[in-house]
Amino acid sequence: MNPKSVEDFLESSAGAHFSGLLLDESGLGKSELDQPTTSNAESFHRQPFIIGVAGGASSGKTSVCNMIIEQLHDQRVVLVNQDSFYYDLTVEELTRVQDYNFDHPDAFDTEKLLTCMENLKLGEAVDIPNYDLKTYKKILPARKVNPSHVIILEGILIFHDPRVRELMNMKIFVDTDADVRLARRIRLDTAEKGRDIGTVLDQYSKFVKPAFDDFILPTKKYADIIIPRGGDNHVAIDLIVQHIHTKLGQHDLCKIYSNLYVIQTTFQIRGMHTIIRDAETTTHDFIFYADRLIRLVVEHGLGHLPFKEKQVTTPTGSVYIGVDFCKRLCGISVIRSGESMENALRACCKGIKIGKILIHREGDNGQQLIYQNLPKDISDRHVLLLDPILGTGNSAVQAINLLLQKGVQESNIIFLNLISAPQGVHTVCKKFPRIKIVTSEIEFGLNEDFRVIPGMGEFGDRYFGTDDC
């Protein structure tokens, strides 16, 4: 296969790809009666997008990967380095380390790399060995890697084994001149690995250069994209990141349902999610960071309310042409988790009326409306429906049906939550195409107990401190 230019590659592979959703023939997904969980339908779980990055030693592979990761800040990305799979040196090899060829394919435990990658693809966490380049051995503890939306596999010989190549959705070769690579290597090996220049040059001429010519360069032909100048090539990196975004599920889910809004993420938002999802997080921290996130979702949701133009005169005597907030609104929380969102709504909307709905949930179905306390004039209001987790969507359907029965217009409902499973998004958006869902993250899916994964456990118990009752 001839390597394609970046533009050719992007053109030929454009189009929706969301392996987190099973699309039916209508393209709208399976019916809510036939909800697959993430684990009982293998293809339902969101398959990671796997990128291979190869190139000579010191060509700039890691730098390119870091730039991609930086720009993909709204995705969970994990970097797996082929170096982690170097075999340990035996005592005998250690005594003659200068004769060991670290640039030969046999220096790597490719079987282990394959096992790790296959498990990650299946959505399982793995232990990646922690190889120490100075002692030539693996050190403990191993690095725990969770399944992610994007996995970047980086290494000099990552395209050598066809089974590893097969795993990749995109292959990048970083193409940097040999003299630049050698100069960088001398600097790195002497400064960081404490080696002397004679040893570095001997290793280069004996192993590094021949291995580049015999094993690395011949794999360039497998690349979909060749990046000259590595990390200096900002155009190539921008195009790669754009392509990955096109290929990732969340964006496709938003494309399928124009009434789904996932708030623009930042590292702050990811950091807050990291804390509230961590099982070790204390109740105090859970509340603090959940509140911060809820506030963002609420503010974003309020941005979808209608407004009227309003002009005011500023202290300088100038006219400011602004807008007036929508007045006829109320919040409805789904007891008990949804009550955690009430304070944020009150803090944003002075004096807002807040009603409540209690839905009893038994397993996946058997949802039963137990209690309701809604404003009498709810049919004239815009409704912000509050529930931090959208899982199967069955509770949300119950709640929305009740609001519709009370005369609320479907287009006047904004459903606010922190995390949404694709299954729930399907169920709600298909049934109520005119409501809006505002969320801060889309999940991988549901497990066999219809719990959202990765999720954050029982939100209500964690927020109200009843998780150890």
Ligand X SMILES: Nc1ccn([C@@H]2O[C@H](COP(=O)(O)O)[C@@H](O)[C@H]2O)c(=O)n1
Ligand Y SMILES: Nc1ncnc2c1ncn2[C@@H]1O[C@H](COP(=O)(O)OP(=O)(O)O)[C@@H](O)[C@H]1O
The contact set with ligand X (CB under 6 A) reads: 57-58, 61, 83, 86, 102-103, 133, 136, 156, 208
Q: How far is the CB of 9 from ligand X (least distance, A)?
A: 23
Q: Is 203 in the site for ligand Y (CB under 6 A)?
A: no
Q: Is 83 in the site for ligand Y (CB under 6 A)?
A: no
Q: How far is the CB of 148 from ligand X (least distance, A)?
A: 21
Among 57, 239, 386, 446, binds ligand Y (CB under 6 A): 57
Among 36, 52, 123, 231, binds ligand Y (CB under 6 A): 231
Residues in the chain: 469
| Pair 149, 74: CB distance under 8 Å | no
As a dihedral over the C-alpha atoms of residue 98, residue 104, residue 106, residue 107, rounded to 10 degrees, the angle is 50
55 torsion bin: left (phi>0), alpha (psi -120 to 50), beta (else): left
As a dihedral over the C-alpha atoms of residue 284, residue 289, residue 293, residue 298, rounded to 10 degrees, the angle is 30
Contact pattern from residue 344 through residue 383 relative to ligand Y, giving x for each residue in contact according to CB under 6 A and a dash for the rest: ----------------------------------------
Q: How far is the CB of 342 from ligand X (least distance, A)?
A: 52
Among 30, 45, 46, 61, binds ligand Y (CB under 6 A): 61
Task: Identify the bridge partners of residue 172 per DSSP, sorted by sequence position.
Answer: 53, 225
Q: What is the 3-state secondary structure (H, E, C) of 147-203?
A: CCCEEEEECCCCCCCHHHHHCCCEEEEEECCHHHHHHHHHHHHHHCCCCCHHHHHHH
208 binds, among ligand Y, Mg ion, ligand X, none (CB under 5 to 8 A by kind): ligand X
Q: How far is the CB of 155 from ligand X (least distance, A)?
A: 6
d(CA 127, CA 154): 17
Q: How far is the CB of 86 from ligand X (least distance, A)?
A: 6
Q: In terms of CB distance, is 29 or 231 closer to Mg ion?
A: 231
Q: Which H or E element spans position 11?
A: helix 6-12
| Pair 150, 244: CB distance under 8 Å | yes
Among 29, 48, 52, 60, binds ligand Y (CB under 6 A): 60
Among 137, 138, 165, 184, binds ligand Y (CB under 6 A): 184
Q: Would you list the DSSP string of 303-367?
A: TTS--EEEEEE-TTS-EEEEEE---SEEEEEEETGGGGGHHHHHHHSTT-EEEEEEEE--SSS--
Among 161, 232, 458, 461, binds ligand Y (CB under 6 A): 232
Residue in the block written with tokens 């959705």: 169
212 binds, among ligand X, Mg ion, ligand Y, none (CB under 5 to 8 A by kind): none
Contact pattern from residue 25 through residue 54 relative to ligand Y, giving x for each residue in contact according to CB under 6 A and a dash for the rest: ------------------------------
60-68, 307-315, 421-429, 444-452 -> range binding Mg ion (CB under 5 A): 60-68
Q: Which amino acid appears at position 155 of this protein?
A: G
Backbone angles phi, psi at 24, to 5 degrees: -90, -175
Q: In terms of CB distance, is 38 or 62 closer to Mg ion?
A: 62
According to DSSP, residue 216 is labeled: I
Q: In terms of CB distance, is 83 or 458 closer to ligand X?
A: 83
Q: How far is the CB of 126 from ligand X (least distance, A)?
A: 21
Q: How far is the CB of 56 from ligand X (least distance, A)?
A: 8
Q: Is 188 in the site for ligand Y (CB under 6 A)?
A: yes
Q: In terms of CB distance, is 62 or 423 closer to Mg ion?
A: 62
Among 35, 47, 59, 62, binds Mg ion (CB under 5 A): 62
d(CA 39, CA 22): 13
| Pair 155, 103: CB distance under 8 Å | no
d(CA 107, CA 93): 12
Residue 182 tokens, joined: 């050698």
Question: How crowded is the C-beta side of 269, counted as CA atoms within 13 Å?
Answer: 19
Of 447, 386, 353, 376, which is closest to residue 41 (Cα–Cα)? 447
Q: In terms of CB distance, is 62 or 333 closer to Mg ion?
A: 62
58-66, 200-208, 214-222, 238-246 -> range binding ligand Y (CB under 6 A): 58-66
Q: How far is the CB of 55 from Mg ion (least distance, A)?
A: 9
Q: How far is the CB of 140 from ligand X (least distance, A)?
A: 17
Task: List contacts with Mg ion (CB under 5 A).
Answer: 61-62
Task: List contacts with ligand Y (CB under 6 A).
Answer: 55, 57-63, 184, 188, 230-232
